[in-house]
Structure 1
Amino acid sequence: MAAYGKFTDNELASLIKEDDQLAYTEVFLRYSKLLVAHAYRLLGNQDEANDVVQDVLLTLWQNRKSIALNTSLSSYLYTAIRNRIFNRMSHQKIVAKYADSIVNFMEVGHAVTDELIRAKELAVIIEQEIAALPPKMREVFLLNKREELSYKEIALKLDITDKTAKQQVYNAVKNLRLKLTSIMSILPFL
């Protein structure tokens, strides 16, 4: 093993391509601490720095047959560390954005769902209160509010005066407002 310590980086790289595990071990011993220190400076986290270096060195061994070193072995390793860290940071940003969007959807989606449920419940209560109006008052109110007939049109249709139609709608609205106000005070969730 001591003989491998005398080999240059280029010689070690050539031996690694020929499946020489001792040459790989020498590269590991020669560079792992330096690479971890470099990765730690970039990441600020010792465990992540160790992981990145382990990944790069493992990739070196796994791809030993296909790696073409256009630079020195040390330049290749430092560049690989930097690229792996940048990829990791980019991935973390994407994950964080995705997590934020899920949280936002859950908060907004939940609120929208609650609002829809409350609106439906309120609509049911309003329909019940309209149904509880006296029959003639209910009929005049519905003609005015749902069918959007004027007081004059209601008067002609029901053979009443337009003043009576107006008074019936006024009384219905007043009655509904009172009942709904009391219901809302009892059921504040709506």
Structure 2
Amino acid sequence: MSVYNKYDDHTLITLLKEDNQLAYTEIFERYSRILVNNAYKVLGNQDEANDIVQEIFLSIWNKRYELAITGSLSSYLYKATKNRILNHIAHEKVVSRYADSISNFIENDYILADSKIREQELEAIIAKEIALLPEKMREVFLLRKVEELSYDEIALQLNITDKTAKQQVYNSLKILREKLKSLVSVFIW
């Protein structure tokens, strides 16, 4: 049992600013679970909730020297979580609108003469990025997205749990989104 769990938040923040990793760990242990639960209630996705809280704590660690908390630490963390969730939702809406606009563009036959070439180039880039995924992750991803197997079918075929299959697909999509995000916006225009 750590002596840090007896410290109040203000003391922990002071120690954190002095590079004290155990103070940071105590803050994380004290607040991370409840922040994840609150994020999950809004997002309905455990992985996204975990990611948001991890980003908040990473930001706190990276900005520990200039951290300026005027109210309570709990209020600061709840507000940071709320803001990250709102940014995440806004980003998802932008991505969704963008995908819808592309779908509408394609459905309405406003396809440019060189669209086939760009489509082939984009497919080649995506195929290359998929090939760079770790072997097991790539295998699960292809079974789900190309062969359109259910998570249960993938689990049975690869002798893994359906949760593992879901996590592998989620992780691969996250990696692919990151790698292709900037490229696709430049590529489309």
TM-score (norm 1): 0.57
Could you say which residue in structure 2 is the equivalent of 1:14?
A: 14
**Distance of aligned partners of 1:105 and 1:14 in 2 relative to their CA distance in 1, 3 Å threshold:** same
How much identity, in percent, do the aligned residues show?
54
Residue identity matched to 1:61: W
Distance verdict in 2 for CA 1:112–1:3, change over 3 Å: closer
Tell me the matched-pair count.
113
Q: Do the aligned partners of 2:16 and 2:24 also contact (CA within 8 Å) in 1?
A: yes
Query: Are residue 98 (structure 1) and residue 98 (structure 2) matched?
Result: yes
CA distance in 2, matches of 1:8, 1:75: 14
Could you list the runs of 5+ residues in structure 2 that have no partner in the other structure? 114-189
Q: How far apart are the structure 2 equivalents of 1:52 and 1:30?
A: 16
Q: What is residue 33 of structure 2 aligned with on the other side? A: 33
CA distances 1:90-139 after superposition (whole Å, capped 9, x unpaired): 011011111111111111135898xxxxxxxxxxxxxxxxxxxxxxxxxx
What is the CA deviation profile of residues 10-62 of structure 1, one whole-angstrom value per residue up to 9, with x for unaligned ones? 11011111111000000111111111111111111111111111011111101
Stretches of structure 1 that go unaligned for 5 or more consecutive residues are 114-190
Structure 1's consecutive aligned runs of 4 or more residues displaced over 4 angstroms after TM superposition are 110-113
Question: Against the structure 1 CA distance between its residues 2 and 103, is the aligned structure 2 distance closer, same or farther, given a 3 Å change threshold?
Answer: same
Q: Which has the larger radius of gyration?
A: 1
Report how far residue 67 of structure 1 moved. Answer: 1.6
Q: What RMSD in Å do the two structures reach over aligned CA positions?
A: 1.6
Distance 1:109 1:31 in 2: 52
Comparing 85-94 with 65-74, greater Cα deviation is found at 65-74
The alpha-carbon distance between structure 1 residues 112 and 56, as it changes in their structure 2 partners (threshold 3 A), is closer
> TM-score of the superposition, structure 2-length normalised?
0.57
